[in-house]
Amino acid sequence: MPAVRYPTAPVGPGERLCWLLVALSFVGDVLTTTIGLHLGLVELNPVGRGVLAAGGPAGMIVVKLLAVAVAVYCRRLVPPVYRAIVPAGIALPWTIATVSNTILITWLIL
């Protein structure tokens, strides 16, 4: 059965905000993870740990870019009224990781 594709609709303000949060959390997670690793912290996510071991921060950036590309593709498979869920689904865990990393780094340096 072929996938249902909805017509491309303009990005609404709520979805735009979610994509902005994706960009900010992307940068925040990469930066705080890199800083944390340099301070002696370890990556707890087994997939992330493998990616970092194989490719370092550049590998992490590539995997995150692939996740964003999949989300952009999948956006058109979701009815327009629900499209903000797609970027929110990426931004939420990356934001949580950024906040968690920031707290751990703060505790280490204080």
38-47 pLDDT tens trace: 999 999 999 9
Query: What are the residue ranges spanned by the domains of the chain?
Result: 13-109
* pLDDT value, residue 4: 74
- Band (pLDDT 50/70/90 cuts) for residue 5 is confident
Q: What is the mean pLDDT of the chain?
A: 93
- Band (pLDDT 50/70/90 cuts) for residue 8 is confident
- Give the whole-angstrom CA distance, residue 87 versus residue 38: 29
- Give the whole-angstrom CA distance, residue 68 versus residue 90: 8
* pLDDT value, residue 1: 62
35: which 2 tokens? 């800083």
